[in-house]
A and B are shown apart, each in its own frame.
Chain A
């Protein structure tokens, strides 16, 4: 008998994964964003031949190198966790999840390892063009790596291109292209990489502002800011576009996440978008009569959520209660099932898997031990014949045993086919079979709602900041705006915070699913003791904190030293 999974085991395992991902995501976006900025600066050097730009690019490259070195391989710990903490998940979807991760490993190794060496060691040793190409290829390699990781993550949000094989108990890839180019994966890639660009741009603008505040490296700082703020502004504008795409994808494929992002319990046609608000902590159940908000202000564009979600101002957006109760018309024209109906179908799918397994085992037994089974059947028939009266006619005993065997074998094949059909018919709801009550399908609402606001509001703030910085920078007034310099410096942390909040929305908002609709975390997790996960959680916390301190110490030392460009 399998023991019931301890909730604290799930929570600690999730916390550990979140901790690892948070730390990893401190390093990755800076690599993606700073990489582009330094490549642009080197391109200017290549075009102009001005040594100033070479030195400028080299300084940012040094900071890129520090960040890259400290962050490299921190993501591998996530893969350790898959194998240890999430073994059911790893087996269940390993065939699909493994492919993008394997490609990522190969691409990361060959592209980044090859070209990063040329980028750092190749100054004055290889041609300018070759060096520039290596710089761009390094960042391209890092971005392609990010692509494959985000394909894997996108697949968890929207599992596509696979089929479940009950013989291997694995989901197997049926279409690589459906996995690699699913609309969710593509949108997630652009939105996430753009957030990295914003962080990289903010980092350059913020550090440069620090030099201006200290009245140091003025020419270097102002020139760096001119590149960074335009890049940041472009990234912010593009991220609005990809953010809109994300909202549409979430509305269509993860409506519960959208409802949680908006604190929307009761859906409607033409729903407003919440600008800011405070959720009512007194609302304990999704179907009680308490108000959802203590206070809220909608975005002053009427019916904006409906428009963002489905491109029509009067489109219907389901709330949490509607999603759990079902019965509304979905974007594809079908009527949504209730949570209870989905749970029932999920249980049918799991029962079918159980029935399929038993029937397959019986089939194997009949195939391997046909002779002994026939003999046993013949003996049964003989016993039966002896117990019946003399006038009962029992004809050929051997033939009857054969017939009985064939009949039972055919019955087993029918059971296999029936179970398989029941499984296939209900597999889309497989994960719902683990859900005890409909309310378990609601993700942590407060965290999702507030994280979404933090991401969007900070995103809007950064857009405004980059626009102002671009204006003052190109009007040659940035040097005099100390408030803007301070704001840019502080905003490095705000940009990082916005990026982390985005991940909270994406990952907390899809709970309870490890894989949307197919596998909840409660079924994905290994049977470990919660204390062992707690122990490794704190080991990671210590390890990553040491790495972060090392990064900050080396980075700040390099920044204090400065680019040391003779600006005369």
Chain B
């Protein structure tokens, strides 16, 4: 019986990943990089500056004040 499309796609990826040589190192680099970017850098060093405000109204109030005051 023919395998379902989903199983064929899954097996395509599984076999592809298994047969990788240099690709395994590259995937390791990608995963470490993403971890450093999203878990380390984003959380600790790059929070959204306007994220400290609760809603859009507060954000627009803050930005409009900034834009007005900085021209003085």
- A and B pair up: yes
Residues of A within 8 A of B (CB): 1-2, 5, 62, 65-66, 69-70, 72-73, 76-77, 80-81, 83-85, 87-88, 90-92, 117, 120-122, 125, 166-170, 346-347, 350, 353-354, 357, 433-434, 522-523, 526-528, 532, 535-536, 539, 543, 547, 550, 554, 558
Can you list 29 A-B pairs, Cβ within 8 angstroms, ordered by A?
A69-B26, A69-B29, A76-B37, A80-B41, A80-B46, A81-B46, A84-B45, A84-B47, A84-B48, A87-B63, A88-B63, A91-B60, A121-B16, A169-B60, A169-B64, A169-B67, A350-B68, A350-B71, A434-B70, A523-B66, A526-B49, A532-B45, A536-B45, A539-B45, A543-B41, A547-B33, A550-B29, A554-B22, A554-B26
Chain A residues with CB under 8 Å of B63's CB are 87-88, 91-92, 169
What range describes how many residues of B lie at the interface? Answer: 35 or more
- Among the listed B19, B49, B68, which residue makes an inter-chain contact with A353, where contact means beta carbons less than 8 Å apart? B68
B17-47 interface bits toward A, Cβ cutoff 8 Å, 1 = contact, 0 = none: 1010011011101100110110001100111
A91 to B48 Cα, complex, angstroms: 11
CB-contacts of B49-65 with A (<8 A): 49-51, 56, 59-60, 63-65
Chain B residues with CB under 8 Å of A166's CB are 64
Quick one: given A80-B42, A120-B23, are A90 and B30 in contact (CB under 8 Å)? no
Q: Are B68 and A357 in contact (CB under 8 A)?
A: yes
Which B residue sits closest to A168, measured CB to CB? Answer: B60
- Among the listed A66, A87, A122, which residue makes an inter-chain contact with B26, where contact means beta carbons less than 8 Å apart? A66
Q: Are B27 and A523 in contact (CB under 8 A)?
A: no
Q: Are A73 and B33 in contact (CB under 8 A)?
A: yes
Q: Are A65 and B67 in contact (CB under 8 A)?
A: no
Chain A residues with CB under 8 Å of B22's CB are 62, 65-66, 554, 558
Q: Which of B34, B42, B49, B59 has the most CB of A within 10 A?
A: B49
Give 7 new A-B contacts, CB below 8 A, not counting A84-B49, A527-B66: A65-B22, A69-B29, A80-B41, A523-B66, A526-B49, A543-B36, A554-B25
Say whether B2 faces chain A, with CB atoms less than 8 Å apart: no
Least distance between A31 CB and chain B CB atoms (Å): 14
Least distance between A560 CB and chain B CB atoms (Å): 13
Q: Are B70 and A522 in contact (CB under 8 A)?
A: yes
A350 to B65 Cα, complex, angstroms: 11
Sorted from nearest, which 5 A-B pairs have the closest CB atoms?
Answer: A121-B16, A87-B49, A69-B26, A80-B46, A2-B69
